[in-house]
């Protein structure tokens, strides 16, 4: 219930912030600076409440109070109803996008948060989003010589006493040492239910180092997995670009008998489920002696992909034929025209194809699961199943390893998303 209340509070806070920002912009456009200053002040106040308040009900109340004020400012500062409608429509669009982005970011935020939690916070409900750790004493040591963790002991119905946990007894009780300056109090035994751990915000970065040291020695702390994944990713991207672009150019520009029929057959292969071709492919690769090798994971990329061929064909067909005619006059053959003239013209589509190929090869789990069995040939995605098999009770290590695996591909997508979106929108698949 608490998590749901927090989600509602954050959404209401975002809605109010967007409306207040819209009010500030509308006031600035008509140079009504007092209202603009008031809206900006309310915006900063609301942002401070959202970031600093630990009470979701306070965030909900402040958001509900300030949103109507912002709408009133928008109505007063706009010159006519059409302008007010435009501001309202833009605000609604931004609110929808922000709420949708928040919903998609929640799983990723949970991944990062869980990767930094200690063991005793993994299965807590409601979930703890900000990782904390139990504070340890600088002076008191456990029986093993480690800094003793601190807890609150409910001494009576009205008073708590700070104690240090110095030993776990075979009976299940915990021996504690009171932390009282100027006194010499002997240790005593209590149950776990009588203690409340003293915690402070402290991410457990050791999860990442422990996730690497857990891997088998032959993997060289995961570097073998990384090398295999990079090898497959590079070859898959190169093979996909070269083979798909060649076939797409042949379908788009060259004239040869049966071209349209074969293109229909090519598109029909997109309708065949992968489960249907899984067993025949396995039998073919087994007959070639490629089981437990990386060959089945990158060689098929050099035989083209129906979707990528269709995507690139749409681009090639949109290029004016005058470029090819000029190349023929200059003495260029079909391959030279393809390589030097046509291929540079479809860079957005090549970027989209290469990005999707890289992401698919990096995250490929099914292929290594079917064809690989040796740890030294595993990929990063397939290596994650080692944590599920042997560390199923420790989600922190699994989430730390998962974060390290997905982070490079997320960074790559952030830097190349413009090319990906441009390639899809201009290919005819984006509504053009």
Q: How confident is the model at residue 74 (pLDDT cuts 50, 70, 90)?
A: low
Question: Token match 């990062």: residue?
Answer: 112
pLDDT for 82 beyond 70:
no
**CB-count burial class (<10 Å; 0-12, 13-18, 19+) for 351:** middle
Q: Where are the domain boundaries for CATH 1.10.3720.10 in the chain?
A: 213-426
Ranges 85-89, 185-189, 334-338, 379-383: which has the least confidence: 85-89
Taking a C-beta distance cutoff of 8 angstroms, is the pair 416, 358 a contact? no
The H or E element spanning position 166 is strand 160-168
- Report residue 195: phi and psi, to 5°: -110, 145
Q: How many CA atoms lie within 13 A of 347 on its CB side?
A: 7
User: Residue 409 has what pLDDT?
Assistant: 84
Report pTM: 0.72
Instruction: Give the ranges where 253-379 is alpha helix by DSSP (H).
Output: 259-268, 274-287, 295-298, 306-318, 322-329, 334-336, 347-362, 366-371
Fold assignment, 213-426: MetI-like fold (1.10.3720)
Distance of CA 310 to the CA centre of its chain: 28
Residue 304: Cβ within 10 Å count: 20
User: Residue 233 has what pLDDT?
Assistant: 94
Residues 266 and 158: their CA atoms lie apart, in Å, by 77
Ranges 5-9, 217-221, 381-385, 395-399: which has the least confidence: 5-9
Distance of CA 190 to the CA centre of its chain: 44
pLDDT for 50 beyond 70:
no
Taking a C-beta distance cutoff of 8 angstroms, is the pair 357, 375 a contact? no
Residues 41 and 95: their CA atoms lie apart, in Å, by 20
Residues 241 and 428: their CA atoms lie apart, in Å, by 19
pLDDT for 391 beyond 70:
no
User: Residue 190 has what pLDDT?
Assistant: 79
Residues 240 and 248: their CA atoms lie apart, in Å, by 12
Residue 130: Cβ within 10 Å count: 11
pLDDT for 378 beyond 80:
yes
Per residue in 393-411, pLDDT (tens digit) is: 678 888 888 899 988 888 8
Contacts of 373 (CB under 8 A, 6+ apart): 292
Measuring CA to CA, which residue among 392, 384, 391, 398 is closest to residue 117?
398
Residue 289 tokens read as 């002696």
Distance of CA 406 to the CA centre of its chain: 7
* Residue 283 to residues 90, 290, 295, Cα–Cα distance (Å): 56, 10, 14
């Amino acid at each position: 219930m608490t998590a749901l209340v927090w989600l509602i509070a954050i959404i209401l806070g975002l809605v109010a912030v967007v409306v207040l920002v819209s009010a500030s912009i509308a006031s600035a456009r008509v140079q009504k600076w007092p209202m603009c200053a008031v809206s900006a002040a309310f915006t900063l106040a609301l942002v401070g409440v959202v970031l600093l308040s630990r009470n979701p009900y306070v965030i909900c109340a402040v958001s509900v109070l300030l949103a109507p004020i912002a709408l009133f400012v928008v109505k007063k500062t706009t010159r006519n109803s059409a302008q007010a409608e435009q501001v309202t429509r833009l605000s609604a669009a931004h609110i929808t996008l922000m709420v949708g982005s928040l919903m998609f970011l929640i799983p990723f935020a949970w991944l990062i948060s869980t990767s930094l939690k200690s063991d005793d916070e993994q299965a807590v409900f409601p979930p703890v989003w900000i990782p904390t750790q139990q504070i340890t004493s600088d002076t008191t040591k456990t029986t093993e010589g480690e800094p003793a963790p601190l807890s609150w002991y409910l001494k009576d119905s009205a008073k708590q006493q700070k104690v240090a946990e110095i030993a776990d007894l075979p009976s299940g009780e915990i021996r504690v040492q009171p932390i009282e300056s100027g006194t010499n109090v002997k240790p005593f035994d209590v149950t776990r239910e009588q203690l409340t751990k003293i915690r402070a915000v402290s991410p457990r970065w050791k999860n990442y180092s422990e996730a690497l040291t857990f891997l088998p020695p032959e993997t060289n702390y995961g570097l073998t997995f990384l090398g295999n994944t990079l090898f497959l990713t590079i070859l898959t991207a190169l093979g996909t670009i070269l083979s798909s672009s060649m076939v797409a150019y042949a379908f788009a520009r060259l004239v040869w008998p049966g071209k349209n029929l074969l293109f229909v057959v090519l598109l029909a292969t997109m309708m065949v489920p992968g489960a249907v071709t899984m067993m025949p492919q396995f039998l073919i690769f087994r007959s070639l002696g490629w089981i437990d090798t990386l060959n089945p994971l990158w060689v098929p990329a050099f035989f083209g992909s129906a979707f990528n061929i269709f995507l690139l064909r749409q681009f090639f067909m949109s290029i004016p034929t005058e470029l090819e005619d000029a190349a023929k006059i200059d003495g260029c053959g079909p391959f030279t025209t393809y390589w030097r003239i046509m291929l540079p013209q479809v860079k957005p589509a090549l970027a989209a194809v290469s990005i999707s190929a890289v992401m698919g090869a990096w995250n490929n789990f099914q292929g290594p699961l079917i064809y690989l069995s040796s740890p030294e040939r595993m990929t990063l995605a397939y290596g994650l199943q080692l944590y599920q098999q042997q560390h199923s009770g420790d989600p922190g290590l699994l989430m730390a390893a998962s974060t390290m695996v997905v982070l490079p591909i997320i960074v790559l997508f952030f830097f190349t998303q413009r090319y990906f979106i441009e390639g899809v929108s201009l290919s005819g698949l984006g509504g053009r």
